[in-house]
Structure 1
Amino acid sequence: MYKLFVTDADGSLLNSNSEISDKNKEAIKEVISRGVIFTIATGRMFSSILPYAHELNINAPVISYNGALIKDIYTKKVYYYSPIQTEDAIFAIRLLKESGYHINLYIDDELYVEEITDRVEWYLSFNNVTVNAVGNLEEFLKKTGSVTAKIYALNDIKNPISIDAEIYDEISKRLTISSSGGGHLEINAKGVSKGNALKTLANMYSIKREQVVAIGDNLNDLSMIEYAGLGIAMGNAPDIVKIKADYTTLSNDEDGVAHVIDKFFLNKKTVAV
């Protein structure tokens, strides 16, 4: 019997319009009413995912920033936080900027950038959050000594290119790198991942690994898909995610989350994928 169900947000729970479909809402409401613990694990900021979490009346803390933060949406209690330290952030920013990336930093749940660019405006189009343009980020961090929950390195939106292998290796020695698609990089403190955060959350509720279901659509979801007793890939996920998953559901525009709930929690007859 599955007791904990965690879903990624963008490309999984949310459709292409960044909305939760009525069918997904109804299925999630039903599974929560049956005593299943349900929450969201996302690369987004806590403040960005908060409206969706309230819309669903989730009954467990949210995992945000790719696993760097586990925080209750009602009490705002922080159960886990592992940010990137100042020196490591400066090191990564320097290398990434040399490769042409735009850098987003997340400090005290606010967005920090050097200047407002087209890539920032693109990001803000689906994240209603506070943004601070502070000039040179390296100098800003040296001056403030701030730590950051995550570094989001935005590639060219129209023509993304792969990161140089040597730079990737250098950053990987000190930090964790994953991708949420579009050539963009998600960088966290060493050891931070959605999988490790999911393990922490399961332990909080004394839930065994085999009683956990996790669903996602991209590379930054792989760790939790592999940790879960039942790891599920969205139909719109790349092949590498589908290969690692135990099951592939429908796409995010076909109510893939509801399909999983119907099949594995409510035992309703479903169309095989």
Structure 2
Amino acid sequence: MVYRLLALDIDGTLLNSNDRLDRQTKEAVAFARKKGIMVTLVSERHFHSAAKVARALKLTQPIITHNGAFVSSSLDNPVYTSKIDHSVLIQLVEFLETYPCQIQISHERLSVSNRPRQKNLIAKMTIGMNEPLFYPVTYVDTLSQYLLENYEGATDVKIKLNDEKTMDTIEKSMHDYFPSLAATRVSPQDITLVRQGTSKFNGLLFFAGQMGIPLHEIVAVGDGSEDAEMIEKVGLGVAMRNAVPEVKEKADWITRSNNMDGVAYVVREVFRKQLRVH
């Protein structure tokens, strides 16, 4: 089998547990590119952050970010987006503002959040997922008023509230009143909302289609539950040794962990004997 596209998750896959890109990993990606393999990133990160990793790897192709909601090589010219419509966003925020939760809406340029009613929520909402500090977060008193004045969609909406019973109610309401959205209970205190159909796999599927590459010619490597679908459906799905059990069950092969140069091992084993792709 000749593989033409290598799709790599970032956190827990490309980066080690210290959030560093090892030399062996950089060299392996460069080796794959010299073989004529197209390399892209498929990440839950915001575009700003994922693009920084892409530059470090000298990648020029569009990357798949925001969990598949934004595919592009630049901020201004996306090749694919999957955003929550502005009208739905307003209705959603007006509904959520009846609860004492923190709401953060994001797109490729910035995040906007209401001011938290609970102490210490700002840090929990904005410092995480290894996002760079230069990703701008704007705090406003009333999100619904902000949306009335700024016509824009969102790649995702995050809800946080340290009240599990109320979060159970909110989660059920999302299914009942907002069928165009997909809700993921990240933790008992956190819910993430995206447009239905938004996923890493669908972002990758669109990108591969644009490049004329069928699924069976793709190698995908990841570790988190959001990687499971693409790992199951591509030609060669690879789970990191540190991956969650769900991903390992879907994978064709399990490589070494992210602290043991797992991506470099995949590239060496899969592409070493493959002739250069033209």
Matches for 1:82-231 after TM superposition, within 5 Å:
82-93=82-93, 102-115=102-115, 117-123=122-128, 126-128=131-133, 129-154=135-160, 164=168, 166-167=172-173, 169-170=175-176, 173-178=179-184, 184-231=190-237
Distance 1:60 1:200 in 2: 13
Taking structure 1 as reference, are residues 235 and 98 closer, same or farther at Cα in structure 2, changes over 3 Å only? Answer: farther
- Return 5+ residue gaps in structure 1 as ranges: 269-273
Shift of 1:66: 1.0
Tell me if structure 1 keeps the 8 A contact 2:45–2:129: no
**Cα distance, 1:34 vs structure 2:** 0.8
Match of 1:43 in 2: 44
Task: Describe the shift of the 1:98–1:44 C-alpha distance in structure 2 as closer, same or farther (beyond 3 A).
Answer: farther
Among 261, 264, 267, the alignment partner of 1:258 is: 264
Between the aligned partners of 1:179 and 1:237, the Cα distance in structure 2 is 19
- How far did 1:22 drift? 1.2
Which stretch has the larger CA shift, 169-178 or 64-73?
A: 169-178
Tell me how far 1:103 sits from its aligned partner: 2.9
Deviation at 1:138, TM superposition (A): 2.8
Identify the residue that residue 254 of structure 2 maps to in structure 1. Answer: 248
Q: Is this contact kept in 2: 1:18–1:126, CA < 8 A?
A: no
1:46-76 Cα deviation digits (max 9, x unpaired): 1121111101011310111111111114x95
Percent identity of the aligned residues?
28
Between the aligned partners of 2:62 and 2:21, the Cα distance in structure 1 is 19
Q: Give the distance between the partners of 2:200 and 2:48, measured in 1 at CA.
A: 18
- The structural deviation recorded for 1:160 is 9.0
Offset at residue 32 of structure 1 (A): 0.7
Correspondences of 1:43-82 after superposition (within 5 Å) = 43-73=44-74, 77-82=77-82
More displaced, 93-102 or 25-34?
Answer: 93-102
Q: Find the aligned partners of 1:161 and 1:16 in 2 and give their Cα distance.
A: 33
- Per-residue CA deviations over 1:128-155 (Å, capped at 9, x if unaligned) read 3112112222332234232112223457
Q: 1:248 to 1:153 in 2, by over 3 A?
A: farther
The count of residues paired between Structure 1 and Structure 2 equals: 265
Helix, strand or coil for the counterpart of 1:253?
Answer: helix
Deviation at 1:240, TM superposition (A): 1.3
Asked if the contact 1:66–1:192 (Cα under 8 Å) also holds between the matched residues in 2, the reply is yes
Unaligned ranges ≥5, structure 2: 117-121
Which residue type is aligned with residue 247 of structure 2?
V
RMSD: 3.1
TM-score, length basis structure 1: 0.83
| Contact 1:95–1:167 (8 Å) recurs in 2 | no
Deviation at 1:39, TM superposition (A): 0.9
1:89-142 deviation line (CA, Å, top 9, x unaligned):
345446667787543222451121123712134238632311211222233223
